[in-house]
Amino acid sequence: MKSNRNYLGAGVVVVSVALLAAFLAYHPLPDDFEEPWKYRFIKFNVEITNVFANALEYMGIVHRVNITRFFYHVSYGSFNARDSRDNISVSDDMIGSVVIRIFRPFVADLDAGGSSASTARPTIIFYHGGGYIVGSADIFEPVSYSMAKHTQYTVIYIEYRLIPEHKYPAAFNDSLETTIELIKQNAKYNIDVNNLVLMGDSAGGNLATVIGQQLIERNIARPRLQVLIYPILQFFDFTLPSYRAYFPASVLGSINHENFKMFISFFTGEHVDDHIFLNGHTTSAHKEKFSRFVNRKFLLNSKYYSDHHLDQLNDTSKRYERLSEILLSNKVSPLLVEDDYLEANTPENTLLITAEIDILRDDGFIYAERLRRVDKRVNHVHYDSLFHGIFGLNTGPLKFDKANEIVHKVAHLVKQTINVQQKV
């Protein structure tokens, strides 16, 4: 009888958790949202994973981050994208202590032995997303491989260190130092430094943006193009319309208030509380200085404009001083720079992808408008019915057709931009 009660109790717990996760996973989607069951299934599984990861960490068994990474590897990193018919070689190398994975299409400039000839070719340096918490060469191989396949350019993936084991500036330093070394060793890797593309999604889009700024500012190289897929661009104003709309929706089951606080804490090593969602991590001086750069006036030409003003909750006791020192640096928030800096230190060409269901949506619209105002060429492609994170969902049983469509479109636009600029 006792055994039966134990089984019944366990069953009740499992069912309760499942129902809770199902409740959290459901939220209305646009009428033209394709494959909504896949989205909700993924969101449900992420919510379940979050519950168990938190429970296991509470019991002292394993850190919740390791559970999350395992989930992502099993869900996305265990599916092979390689096909010998594509004629793409894949190899790993080390630059310092950082692993890089190189995807080289076999084209006419390869010798009979299969090694690269001396001809340099356009090269995409790819910085992965995952909130600086998850991500590996295996998880992002399908995207990197597909980009090499569809562009016939070399793609070099950089595996930077992750948080919480390595807080800021580890990912930034790894990405910048590795990129600089790749440029210095361009002959070894057959990189055409005049046709260099920096690409990244989400956190990787942040890195692509700030690395591009640093390369130009330091006079190391001027990338031909930056490709930013729903990038993180600022940590100043978390009251923009897209943040207010989609934090409560818990996009993909992972982008919500609690996980965002955890991310900021992991990233900076500083305590974070709910004040951050009213911009309480900033002072009145910060607001006066940076509200010029992240301003709702830049949304006037979009349907997302709101006359809601910047919240005035201020860090009067300066208890978030170290937090703001990190988050409001232009090496973390590349939007927080003067127009003169933006004009001087941004690649001439930007391909920007934004998604409707995304807290970062408005950041992208603001960045696109600011770049246009300093006469940069911006190709901004917005998807009204897609969500943050779809770019990496292009393989496996839960792949989205739209993910492959985006990969194809990005590859096409990259080639088109490089070809046009080569003729100029």
**DSSP code string of 210-274:** HHHHHHHHTTS---SEEEEES----SS---SHHHHHHTTTTBTTTBSHHHHHHHHHHHHSS---G
Is residue 357 situated within a structural domain? yes
Copy the structure tokens of residue 228.
């930013």
> Do 225 and 353 fall within a single domain?
yes
* Predicted pLDDT at 19: 52
Provide the pLDDT for residue 10. Answer: 45
pTM strictly above 0.85: yes
Q: Are residues 7 and 120 in the same domain?
A: no
pLDDT value at residue 305: 77
Edge-to-edge strand ranges of the sheet holding 154-159: 88-95, 98-105, 154-159, 121-127, 191-201, 225-229, 349-357, 377-387
Same domain for 224 and 103: yes
Q: What residue type is 48 in one-letter code?
A: I
Phi and psi at residue 58, to the nearest 5°: -60, -35
- Whether residue 23 is found in the same domain as residue 149: no
CB neighbour class for 45 (10 Å; exposed up to 12, middle 13-18, buried from 19): middle
Number of H helices, E strands in the chain: 14, 8
**Tell me, what amino acid is at 280?**
G
Instruction: Give the pLDDT score at 22.
Output: 52
d(CA 219, CA 265): 33
> What is the domain range of residue 195?
84-235+331-423
**Together in a domain, 108 and 148:** yes
Whole-angstrom distance, CA of residue 292 vs CA of residue 370: 11
Q: Which residues of the chain have pLDDT under 70?
A: 1-27, 78, 107-118, 308, 310-311, 422-424
| Residues 54 and 93 both lie in one domain | no
Beta strands at 121-127 and 191-201: parallel, antiparallel or unpaired: parallel
Q: Which residue is listed with tokens 């590859």?
A: 411
Is 17 in the same domain as 90? no
Q: What is the pLDDT of residue 304?
A: 81
Q: Which of 48, 77, 106 is the last residue of a domain?
A: 77
- Sequence-distant (6+) residues with CB within 8 A of 408 are 150
64 in any annotated domain: yes
What is the CA angle 393-157-84, rounded to 5? 70
The pLDDT, as a whole number, for residue 4 is 53
For the chain, what is the domain count?
2
Which of 77, 110, 136 represents a domain boundary (last residue)? 77
